[in-house]
A = this chain, B = another copy of it.
Amino acid sequence: MLLENCHLFSGLSSSRLDRIRALAEEKSVTKGELLYREEATAGSIFLLKKGAVELWSQMDERIELPVTIVREGGRCFGTAALVAPYRYTLTAKCAEDALLLAIPAEGLFRLMEEDRELGCVVMGNLASHFLSRLKETREELKIHFRTLFRSIQF
């Protein structure tokens, strides 16, 4: 039931979901474990089955800040593996012992190449996923701006 809950695969038939499921590998990670670093070569996307994974952004050489925590089953991360230059844009660390599905980008690209209907749906969902993240990040910028603006005014 996990792939059905993932926004990236929304709108796909059950036979297409089965083809994606056949690519996936289960992966156990323990609290504190590093999954991948920002800027590292991105080979797989991940779906959370259970537990929690926190995504971090490197602010400067010394400071990392948390961006979001992934807790809901079926939520995906590491999706930059599907877009050139195929590098993760955040760091992922296991926040609570977790079970993941890792889907190799290479296998997913092959499926999308063979089955353009599947490719069109997944790429459309991916565009929507990045646009949502972009809107959230712009909202954060607005909050920073308002805070700064108020601190200047008073």
Contacts and interface: CB of A to CB of B under 8 A. Distances in A.
Contacts of A59: 142, 145-146, 149
A132 B141 CA distance: 16
What is the interface of chain A mostly: helix, strand, loop, or mixed? helix
Contacts of A144: 141, 144, 148
16 contacts: A57-B142, A83-B124, A89-B131, A89-B134, A116-B117, A119-B123, A120-B120, A120-B123, A123-B124, A130-B131, A130-B133, A134-B137, A141-B141, A141-B144, A144-B144, A144-B148
Interface of A: 57, 59-60, 63, 65, 80, 82-84, 89, 112, 116-117, 119-120, 123-124, 126-131, 133-135, 137-138, 140-142, 144-146, 148-149
A80 B135 CA distance: 11
Contacts of A80: 131
Stoichiometry (number of copies): 2
Contacts of A140: 141
A78 B116 CA distance: 25
Contact of A126 (B57, B63, B127, B138): B127
Contacts of A142: 57, 59-60
A86 B112 CA distance: 25
